[in-house]
Structures are given as C-alpha cells and as structure tokens.
C-alpha cells in the first residue's frame, strides 16, 4: 500500500471510462482501448456514451489523464483494471473472447509485483480458471509469486446521473489477504461510500452475478403479472400501487429487459450451474419470459388496432425510442428491435424516432434505420417504448390519425390518450 501505483484501465466503454477518470483524480492513470476512433474521440474531449460530461473529461485530460490504443504506452503501469464486455453469442452462451484477449494483452506487458483486477461481469471462478491462466501463459509469470490479482465487480448504471461511479459502494477482493487489502485501499481512496471487502474472488464474482439475476427474476414476475392482468382487463400499475402500500412489498414494474447487464449476466451463471449438474429453472424461465416481451408488446398493439378496426397491413406506426433504457444512447441488446421485427410482419411503414441513439450504429448493429429528427407525420399507432425526457415535449395528439392507437410501454403518458400499456 506504500508503493506508487500507475493505473491502466483496459476498455473505455460505459464502465471503464468513468472508472479511469475517477482514478485519475488520485493516481497517474491511462485508459486503454483497441478502438482507435474511441480513443481519438476521448482525447478530443468528448464521450459519445454520455457517461461523463465533456467538461469533466477535458478537466481530467488537463490534469494528466490520457487515453491510448498503443500497448507500448501502458507498459510502465503496475495496476491493471480490465473492464471489457462479457457478451453472449447467438445461442446465449458466454462469449469470453474479449476477456481472453484482454488477459493475453495484459500478459504481454505485466511485470513482477504488478496487480491485475477484473471488473467485467463473469461467473464464479472465471477470473481464476480462465483469465489468470491466460496472463500466466503469455507472461511466463506465476500468480501470487510474481504478480497478483483481484476482482471488483462493476456497478455502473448507464444514464444514471445520481448513482455515479464515485458514489457507488464497491465490492473488492484479492488473490491473497495482503493484496486484497491493497486493492481495497486503492478503491477506497476514490470512493465516497467506500467498499465491501469480500473474503475471496469467487464470492465477489458471485455477488455481482446475483445482483442482476435477482432483478431479472423480479421483473419477469411483474411481466407475467402484466400479461395476466391485461388479459383480465385490470390495470397492472393500479394493482402494483395498491400492493405497494404494504410495508414489505418490493415495488418492481413490468418492462422490456435489455442492455448489457440484466439481460445478459444471468446466462453466465446458468451456464456455470449446469457444469455442476444444476439446472436453474427460475432464472432460465425468467430469461425466456423477459426475452419475449418485445413481441408481446407488438402483438398487444396489433390486437388494439384490430379492435378499433384499423387495418394493420401497411399501417403507419411510430415507435418512440430504441435505446435499452431512458436518457442514454446505449442500444446494446435493446428489446425495442423485437417490437419492430414483430410489427414488420404486417407493415413496412414503421418509423423509429430516437434523438439519443446513433443512426449509423443502430443500422450496423440491427440493420434498422432510425431517425433523430422529430416526426411531423401522422400515424395509425404510436408506441412509447423508451421514456426519454426529451419525449416529454412531444404532443402525441398531433401525431395521431383518427381513431389511432397509443401504447405506453413505460406507463408515463396521460391515461386519457393511452389505449394500452404494459
């Protein structure tokens, strides 16, 4: 704890950039990313993820923080933090490619006495069973003899300006008791609300995976209730409001579950559990139910249109929002595309308006064309899919053809204009 730490954060996305900027307030810090365009953007003082303001980023750069895509620039660091994505493949199996590649890269430059900490969400055991052996193989060094390791799960909530990185209480862990203390000290030095030091790396890994799995299961239960109550013509949110008057009721709401955390992380634990001969039935069912909610919303809209006598074939439909959550540009694993895909079976006249999402990125990722320009046409159906604050200024009535349907996924629109909501 008495040595001077030079920190390198590997991966400058939604997790890595805010973390690197925070560490740069106390330590010499370099951010590393393989994406040259991302590095150029950040060094010019702009973060397209909107996780940190341009003013804050430029202040950090003036204070000595810098970003690079050159491995030679980070060889002098001695405390490496890996914050790369942990996605799943088309069959929902963990894709370890980014994590393995990052571990190999660290192995190329790590020196004796250095520490590597992983922040990427993984199943219990992955750091020690998959990542660190790659570091050892490439570097020729031995864990806990030549170098040391730890795990501190990320808790970034994209678009959340209240629970920012410095306010989050972080879980830490280390490969030896002494290193656990050192890692805990370093994180504690920049966090307002401190840390919780877990007894092992595996415990820290498990704590992260159940945080998001728990939310996934709870939201799935509410989505199932929404389906039941919608069929019974009972407003789900009225039911939730009534039930939440009890002191120990947990107020979750139905919704689309996308993004890179809640909709992805459970698959890592599901896969690992099966290795031990356990089939996690509740988690698996929750994933299946939540993954089907986009199609459910689309079918509810079609049902409402049919009831009103609106011809669905070739109907004009407007979808408001495509990002996976409100007030951020993150489109990873958004379930709004499932609404679009289901409705496209009936009509090609679908407009997706989202002023926060990048048009080119959406088209490259989903082969869907969106617009950042406020619509000035009229539609047979309008679906509020994402509750961006910018949509509060929209006059929905001006967008509607006679007898049109309004469906409110987020339950934020005035009830008198809404034909259905989740």
Say how many C-beta atoms besides its own lie within 10 A of residue 104's C-beta.
15
The whole-angstrom separation of Cα 166 and Cα 15 is 12
In the chain the first and final C-alpha atoms are separated, in Å, by 52
Sequence-ordered alpha helix ranges (H) in 189-251 = 201-231, 236-243
Told to judge if 131 belongs to the known catalytic residues of this protein, a careful annotator would answer: no
The token duo for 279 is 């089939």
The whole-angstrom separation of Cα 289 and Cα 283 is 10
Question: Which member of 8, 67, 77, 261 is catalytic?
Answer: 261
Say how many C-beta atoms besides its own lie within 10 A of residue 242's C-beta.
10
Is the Cβ–Cβ distance between 239 and 229 less than 8 Å?
A: yes
Is the Cβ–Cβ distance between 123 and 268 less than 8 Å?
A: yes
Cross-strand partners of 27: none
Is the Cβ–Cβ distance between 96 and 86 less than 8 Å?
A: yes
The whole-angstrom separation of Cα 353 and Cα 362 is 12
Contacts of 111 (CB under 8 A, 6+ apart): 78, 147
Say how many C-beta atoms besides its own lie within 10 A of residue 417's C-beta.
13
Closest CA to 322 of 364, 372, 286, 287: 372
Say how many C-beta atoms besides its own lie within 10 A of residue 52's C-beta.
19
Is the Cβ–Cβ distance between 391 and 356 less than 8 Å?
A: no
- Stretch (H or E) spanning 179: helix 177-188
The whole-angstrom separation of Cα 253 and Cα 142 is 48
Q: Active-site positions?
A: 261
């Amino acid at each position: 704890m008495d040595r001077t730490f030079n920190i390198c954060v590997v991966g400058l996305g939604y997790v890595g950039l805010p973390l690197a900027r925070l560490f740069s307030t106390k330590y010499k810090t370099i951010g590393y990313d393989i994406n040259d365009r991302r590095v150029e953007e950040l060094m010019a003082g702009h973060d397209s993820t909107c996780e940190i303001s341009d003013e804050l980023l430029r202040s950090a750069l003036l204070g000595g923080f810098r970003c690079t895509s050159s491995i030679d620039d980070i060889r002098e660091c001695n405390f490496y933090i890996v914050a790369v994505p942990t996605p799943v493949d088309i069959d929902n199996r963990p894709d370890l490619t980014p994590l393995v590649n990052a571990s190999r890269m660290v192995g190329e430059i790590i020196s004796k006495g250095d520490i590597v900490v992983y922040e990427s969400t993984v199943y219990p055991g992955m750091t020690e069973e998959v990542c660190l052996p790659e570091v050892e193989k490439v570097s020729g060094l031995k864990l806990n003899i030549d170098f040391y390791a730890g795990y501190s799960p990320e808790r970034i909530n994209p678009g959340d300006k209240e629970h920012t990185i410095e306010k989050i209480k972080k879980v830490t862990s280390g490969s030896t008791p002494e290193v656990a203390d050192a890692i805990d000290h370093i994180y504690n030095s920049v966090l307002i609300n401190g840390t919780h030091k877990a007894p092992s790396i595996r415990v820290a890994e498990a704590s992260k995976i159940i945080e998001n799995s728990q939310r996934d299961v709870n939201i799935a239960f509410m989505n199932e209730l929404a389906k039941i109550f919608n069929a019974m013509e009972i407003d789900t949110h009225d039911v939730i409001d009534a039930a939440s008057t009890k002191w120990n009721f947990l107020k979750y709401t139905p919704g689309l579950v996308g993004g890179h955390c809640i909709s992805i992380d459970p698959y890592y634990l599901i896969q690992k559990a099966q290795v031990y001969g356990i089939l996690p039935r509740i988690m698996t069912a929750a994933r299946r139910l939540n993954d089907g909610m986009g199609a459910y919303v689309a079918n509810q809209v079609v049902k409402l249109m049919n009831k009103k006598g609106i011809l669905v074939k070739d109907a004009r439909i407007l979808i408001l929002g495509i990002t996976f959550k409100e007030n951020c540009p993150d489109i990873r694993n958004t379930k709004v595309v499932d609404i679009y895909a289901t409705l496209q079976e009936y009509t090609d006249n679908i407009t997706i308006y989202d002023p926060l999402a990048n048009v080119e990125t959406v088209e490259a990722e989903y082969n869907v064309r969106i617009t950042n320009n406020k619509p000035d046409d009229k539609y047979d159906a309008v679906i509020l899919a994402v509750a961006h604050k910018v949509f509060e200024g929209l006059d929905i009535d001006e967008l509607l053809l006679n007898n049109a349907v309004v469906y409110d996924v987020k339950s934020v629109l005035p009830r008198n204009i809404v034909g259905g909501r989740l």
